[in-house]
Structure 1
Amino acid sequence: MRELLDHLEAWYLDGRTFALATVVSTLRSAPRDAGAVMAVSADGVALGSVSGGCVEGAVYELANEVIDTGLPRTAAYGISDDDALMVGLTCGGTLEVYVEPVDPARYPEFPELIAALREGRPVAVATVVATGDPTRLGARTLVGPDGEAAGDDECGPFVGGLRDLLEADRTTLVRPDGDDLVPVGELGVWPGEIIFVRSYVPRPRLLVFGSNDYAVAVARAGAFAGYRVTVCDARPVFATADRFPDVDELVVDWPDRYLASTRVDARTAVCVLTHDPKFDVPVLVRALRLPVAYVGAMGSRRAHEDRVLRLREAGLAEAELALLHSPIGLDLGARTPQETAIAVLAEIIRGRHGGSARPLSHTSGRIHR
């Protein structure tokens, strides 16, 4: 929903009712994951996507109905439906979409959600999306990282259960990426009801060390992929806003010193593109001992061999060296900085989501894990 935030906030502040459609479950090869959203305003403007195109028309009509009635709805779409008039997914999957009306009267907590997203604070929204009691459909609660809750009083009994779900990792709420359907019966209340827990966590960080053309391309690709991008270089003549207009943070400092002072987590990716041992080695020594998702370094195979020798001399163990992705990126035959950036982000994404990095035409089974 982050990409729609400016529009949705403007609609809300103008007092305009709009419908927010959210994918709450998928089966087989549905084109979008749970949590994908589409918004439709009262005057017919549609933003976002819940299926990549194949059921948008049907969801658009349902959204208009929700705006007219003011009542939330949950609908299923897929080729398994008996109703021949139902829209089918050509990809062979099925999905469920929850559509709710949003305006200041019906969703008073929406500004709190907007503020959390703007400020990068983790928050989860728990919504009843299936129930035998129509009066409870759409009941919701916002839950913060410490278990504090705001929303419908009727949702109070399952706040304790949600706190239990959050207990394992308060910084990332339900889980680092994605959303879950929670059977309320497992929480000990209202058996048969289903709550959809939509977790919003801060964007994962991409730390790019260096300010050459490859760093420019990797920073841009990382921002496009949804990362919060920081570029760091010790040379102020190269680390300029003109070269890096798309980054969230531009730092002039020695890479290893900055890495020692900044916050990282298990989703952080580190790309060392300085291609200079006096910068590379100190920052890699520190990075390879941090609990981050990815550490990659640019250079030829000869440069890599020299770098590994220097890292061993600096005291890194073989297990630590095994975490280094160098030469950086997947083998795509990339030549330009832009193509190289795609290869780098492809390797980061593969590690994040567990893909095989093989052509899909040479694999079988589910495309969307």
Structure 2
Amino acid sequence: MREIAGRLRAWNDAGTAYAVATVVSVGGSAPRRPGAAMAVASDGEVVGSVSGGCVEGAVYELCREALRTGEPARESFGYSDDDAFAVGLTCGGTIEVAVRPGPVPDAPLDAIAGGEPVAFVQALDGSGAAFTVRPGGFQGGTGRADLDRVVVGEARALLDTGRTGLVSVACDEDLEVFVQSFAPAPRLLVFGAIDHAAALARIGGFLGYRVTVCDARPVFATPARFPDADEVVADWPHRYLGGQAERGLLDGRTVVCVLTHDARFDVPLLEVALRLPMAYVGAMGSRRTHRERNARLRAAGLTEDELARLRSPIGLDLGARTPEETALSIAAEFVALRRGGTSAPLSRTRGPIHSVLPPDLAPAPMPLS
């Protein structure tokens, strides 16, 4: 829903009636993930997508029917790969779509626009009940205080890790809710103000990360040299990272790329990074640099388990030569790690193309000890 939130807010302001279809579960080679959404306005305008085109026509009609009746609906589209093309779901797999007449409350739409953490919760029992859940409060509900407490607690648990999905409510076996989390963009922290950092900042922004470039040398750490970064910081890398951790600004989605390959910067920084529950920590350097750096980190007291988290030399073996190719190899590695990919060519693998593992199941943020 993030992609269509702005249009939904405009429809709310204009008093335009609309219905929203949201993917609530998928199986097999489904083209979109849970949370993908399409909205249809009363004048026939369509925004968003639930299937990349496979079943958009059928979902459009479901939305038109919800607008006509004012009733929510829930529909599954699931066909085998052999007959999918004939009926429209060309990729095979299954998707389940929940349709509800609008409007979506302004509160979650405004929070999404402002980059605030928020979860939008829909009850799938036909009641149309919905919640807007923030870390410190919530709006909406089912009309039952005991049930609302359980639903809000489940929603906050998913919001803490940026996860979206179906939840069966333990205290009411007839109630299932769909929790859609909108957390701030994951962070990509690039240490070392070199040409590879500029290329990595570009690809990080393209992938939806909030990118920070940090270097202890102010003459190199300038916004003019890194126009694609969201922020450029002149500070000692280990001090900056430690400060971010202490302020609770890192989480299990954070990616750290150390490009300095200078022991004065690398070792203190990696001492901090490898003790934090982040998604990825990688360091640039030759194999000789890697061996020497590991020896220094062991001498500094890091355990073998902590060292095992370090991706070094950084990146996948793509035969990269240029800064842009190197940035691609690095990004490919941390995407594969975050999403449970094998990094193998799809032509040589079997089974579902998309990982069935929920992404970003990492521990919650942890302050420095």
Equivalence for 1:127:
122
One-letter amino acid matched to 2:131: T
Question: TM-score under structure 2 normalisation?
Answer: 0.84
Cα deviation, 1:143-173, whole Å, max 9, x if unaligned, reads 2224x3311453645212224435xxx5x53
After superposition, residues 167-182 of structure 1 pair within 5 angstroms as 170=156, 173=158, 176-182=161-167
CA contact (8 A) 1:122 1:173 kept: no
Equivalence for 2:5:
5
Q: Percent identity?
A: 54
- Quote the Cα distance in structure 1 between the aligned partners of 2:144 and 2:318: 50
Decide which of 110, 116, 130 is 1:140's aligned counterpart: 130
Equivalence for 1:97:
97
Cα deviation, 1:302-326, whole Å, max 9, x if unaligned, reads 2222322333343333332222111
Equivalence for 1:236:
218
CA contact (8 A) 1:58 1:87 kept: no
One-letter amino acid matched to 2:89: L
Change (3 A) 1:87 1:240: farther
- Quote the Cα distance in structure 2 between the aligned partners of 1:300 and 1:20: 52
- Quote the Cα distance in structure 1 between the aligned partners of 2:323 and 2:144: 51
Equivalence for 2:278:
292
Question: TM-score under structure 1 normalisation?
Answer: 0.84
After superposition, residues 1-369 of structure 1 pair within 5 angstroms as 1-79=1-79, 87-103=87-103, 107=104, 110-131=105-126, 136=127, 138-146=128-136, 148-154=137-143, 156-165=145-154, 170=156, 173=158, 176-184=161-169, 186-188=170-172, 191-262=173-244, 263-368=249-354, 369=356
- Quote how far apart the aligned CAs of 1:237 are: 3.3
- Quote how far apart the aligned CAs of 1:230 are: 1.6
CA contact (8 A) 1:120 1:201 kept: yes
CA contact (8 A) 1:77 1:88 kept: no
- Quote how far apart the aligned CAs of 1:86 are: 9.6
CA contact (8 A) 1:35 1:178 kept: no
- Quote the Cα distance in structure 1 between the aligned partners of 2:115 and 2:273: 24
Change (3 A) 1:46 1:240: farther
Secondary structure in structure 2 of the residue aligned to 1:291: coil
Cα deviation, 1:83-141, whole Å, max 9, x if unaligned, reads x99943122212111222333xxx4xx2211233244433222212244xxxx1x2212
- Quote the Cα distance in structure 1 between the aligned partners of 2:217 and 2:95: 50
Secondary structure in structure 1 of the residue aligned to 2:158: coil
Change (3 A) 1:14 1:291: same
CA contact (8 A) 1:77 1:87 kept: no
Q: CA RMSD in A?
A: 2.7
- Quote the Cα distance in structure 1 between the aligned partners of 2:275 and 2:142: 46
Instruction: Write out the 4+ residue segments of structure 1 that deviate beyond 6 Å after TM superposition.
Output: none
CA contact (8 A) 1:221 1:341 kept: yes
CA contact (8 A) 1:74 1:130 kept: no
One-letter amino acid matched to 1:56: E
- Quote the Cα distance in structure 2 between the aligned partners of 1:68 and 1:354: 42
Cα deviation, 1:343-366, whole Å, max 9, x if unaligned, reads 212211222122211112222222
CA contact (8 A) 2:118 2:159 kept: no
Unaligned runs of 5+ in 2: 357-369
- Quote the Cα distance in structure 2 between the aligned partners of 1:194 and 1:96: 13
Secondary structure in structure 1 of the residue aligned to 2:341: coil
Secondary structure in structure 1 of the residue aligned to 2:285: coil
